[in-house]
Structures are given as C-alpha cells and as structure tokens.
Amino acid sequence: MWPAIIGCIILLMIKLTIDHRQRRLKNYPPGPWGLPVLGNLLSINRLVKKTRFHFKAWRKLADVYGPVLRIRLGITKPLIVVSGRQAVLDFLNRREFDGRPNRFELRNNGKKMGIVLNDGQDWIDQKRFLLKALKDFGFGKQSMEDLVLQDVEMLCDIVRNQMLDKAMDVHDFCEITAIAVVSSLWNLIAGRRCDPTKEEEGMLKILRILKESFRSGSAAGFLWQHIPILRFIMPKYSGFSEHQKRVTAMLHYFLEEVSEHKKSRSPGNPRDLIDRYFDEMDAKKHEEDSSFSELQLVAIVQDLFSAGIETTSNSIGFAIAYLAKYRDVQARIQEELDRVIGDEIPRLIYKDSLPYLNATIAEVSRLSNVAPTTIPHRAIVNSSILGYDVKKNWSVIGDLRSVHMDPNHWSEADVFRPERFIDPSGQFLSDPWLMSFGAGRRKCLGENLARISLLLFLARLLQKFQFSLAPNEGAPCLLGVNGFTIAPPHISIVVKLRR
C-alpha cells in the first residue's frame, strides 16, 4: 500500500513540476516559484507572519512581479492578484470575470447559492429579485433613514447608560455597534429589529461567530481549500473542523428563522423579504429551471446579514479609533455639527452641509481598508489582464488597498488628512480613486445603506459624545487586525458625554 502511495505522490510531483515549467513558456502573469503540491503556501505564510497582514504580502509581491501576478496555493488552480487602479478596474468591469471560484461550499452541500458566492444565471435571477424586493420594503427610501435613526438612538442610549467615563476596547464598542447596525437591515429581512438590551443571545452568538469567521480567513482562502484532502486526514490542524462548526451554527440559526416564517406567513401578504421570497417560490414552483428554493433563501439571508454588518460596524470602529487619536479632527467635526445641526437629530438632508464629516468618513475608509481586497472572482472564459493570459476558472482578486494607498495619486498616502477630500471652496470632493465598495456588476449591493449608516451613526455619536484614548494608550498603531476583512485595532478608549 505505502509503495503505491509514495509512487503516486512522486508521479504527481513530476507532473506538477512539468506543468509549472510549461507555464513559464506561456504568456501567463509572472510570480514566485513554488514547491510541488504546496505551491507558494509556505512562502506566502512566512510573508504574512512577517508583515502581519495579507495585504502587505500582496504589496511586497507586486513590488517584485508587477500589477498582475500569479501564485499557486496548494493543488488548486492559480490565483491572480491584481494591483493598481488600472488593472483592478480592468478586471472588475469585465463580465468574463464575474464568476466565483469553484471551491468547496460547505454551507450549501457543495452548491453555489445566495448572492455573494454565486454566479451565472442563478446569481442574476437572485440579484434581480433581491434588488426589487428590498426596494419595495423601503431600501434606499425615507423609511430606511427612519429605521437607521431608530438604531442610532438605541446605540446612543446604550453608550450613555453603560459606557461613559471608563476605559474600553474599541472591539467591545464594535460588538454593540454591530447589532445596532444590523437592526434596520434585519427589519427588512425578517420583520423585526434587534435590541441588545433585550433577549438577543442568539443574535449576539451569531455575531461573535461571524467575527471569528472573518478573522480566521483571507481572500486567498483556507488551507483545507487549497489541499482538500486535509479536510479528511487533518481536519483540526487545517482549520476545517472549526470552520465547519461555525458554518453549521450559522446555518442552523438562519434555517430556524426561515422555518418560523414559513409557519407564520400569510401567502400574498409579505411582511418582509423572507415572506416575499416564499411568494416568489410559489409563483415559480411549476418552472423546472427555477433557482428559487428554501436553501437558496437561507443562503441569501446569511449573505445579507454577513455583508451588511461586518464592513459597516468595522468602519464605525475605525472612525472612532482615528478620532480618539486625532482629537483636532474630532473637534472640527463637532464644530461643524453644532453649527449646521445644533441639537436636531442628524438627517440625510444635512449631508451636503457637512463636508468635513463626509471628508473624514472618506479618509477613514481610504486608510482603514476594511475590505482590503475584493472577494475572489473567477474567469468564466479564457481572457487576459493588461496583456497577460488568464485561463478559464482561474481565481482573481483585486487589491483595493493598492489603489487607496498609491503614492502617485495620494500625497503623503500614509498620513490621516481628511482635508484631501475638501475642495478650495470648502465643499466635499469625491475622488473616483476611492472604491471601498468595489466596482462593476459585483459591486456591493449594500453600498447605499452602508453610506447612510456611516453618516447618521457617526454624526449622532459625535454630536452626543467625546472620544479619547485611554491614559495608557500613548500613540497607538491604527492598522487594525488581519483577516478576510480588517478589524479595528485593539486600543482602549474613553467615552464622555458632550450634552
């Protein structure tokens, strides 16, 4: 038995070595040499450990190999990392890169479902339905603003009653912020708001699991995805077991929510998105090629929940961290709020009259890079990027941080300076190089809600409270915590009441 196994391994190594040399003769993107079977796994891992961040690893490789580089992780197909605005926009705006990788999808029994990880006609059908349904339930309308403002007031009450005048980690602040941020979206999805002061243990547990998932991964994927056999022979070491536990817990939570809706719904009278989806399933039940199903619904609910909370709550946390460190910027925003709004509740009608707040949000987004890369795309046909050949089914990620930190466009790119987004007349200056929500058909569906939430949450928090570093903090680094998304740094802050 063992001689046969060893022989197979040797043959596989020989084949991969030959394939690797053949690829060198073609017009494929350049990249580092890798080992048979393992590819560049070990070298990338060492680079991430040394730099502490995946985005720094991509940056160092791009400095050597250029804006379009190729790496191989394990036995899977090559991963193309695209850097710089020209290359990133080139692939994001082309339909031939709208696919998602054919990776093992644990939550859907190996099938692509939902919105974020789906592609093809199923993705188009689900996206079309979702956009219309959310719009019908107030997404992007005045009613959406009112829902967000309720959550803003809820968060302010919690801060006032539980968090004043004592040192706390920004991450603890983000945990409470997260449930307030998701509340209005959850109201559209499931017909009820979330309140951390009430019985929300299930929701809080899911939020913590979600955070763990984002911290444990990266856009490059997991070890067990690169070498799938590790799922069976080394499930714990490869991280598969923990990932499976998290996915199962989240799946059960959302399955239960959908099941409860199924029992209590009144067909034709939808209360929320879940009910509307069941109505759509009823309407299409005789269509053989319909992609509408309960499992599809569960995947969509999970996608909306995950995408709708992580980036927005982290962005608010980063903003608080930056303003606690740069008190002069905080004071200028508060002067603007006092002058423009006074004691009134912030609303979107004031948006254009708050240029410095808008500029600060833009600058925090640029520097924090909560989503440093795009979610992996997949080439659905043989194609090319900047003249380099990219084969069908190869994965591609765009390094958004490379655009936001490009020194050729941003003067003193590492410096926190909101004024770069203010024009000579004192108005907010939008910059097309800021692309925190991506671009193309895969651009974030929740961009509008995220922008509304960031503006209203931060305006009200800064109107009511002052944020400062705890006495023992000194001059903290604000790069954040590595993961699939970047979390705010572990720094201690103190919140005081303004009025």
Binding-site residues for heme sit at: 444
Report whether 462 contacts 333 (CB < 8 A). Answer: yes
How many residues are there in the chain? Answer: 499
Element of type H or E holding 329: helix 327-340
Neighbours of 264 (CB within 10 A): 10
The dihedrals phi and psi of 385, each to the nearest 5 degrees, come to -135, 120
Quote the tokens at residue 181: 């941020």
Binding residues: 444
Distance CA 233, CA 272 (A): 44
Read out DSSP for 207-269? Answer: HHHHHHHHHH--TT--HHHHSTTHHHH-TTTTTHHHHHHHHHHHHHHHHHHHHHHHHH--TT-
User: Which is it for the CA torsion 477, 482, 487, 492, positive or negative?
Assistant: negative
Q: What is the CA radius of gyration of the chain?
A: 24
Select from 454, 385, 312, 340 the least CA-distant residue to 69. 385
Go through 451-472 and write b for each residue having 16 or more CB atoms within 10 A of its CB, e for each that does not. Answer: bbbbbbbbbbbbbbbbbebbee
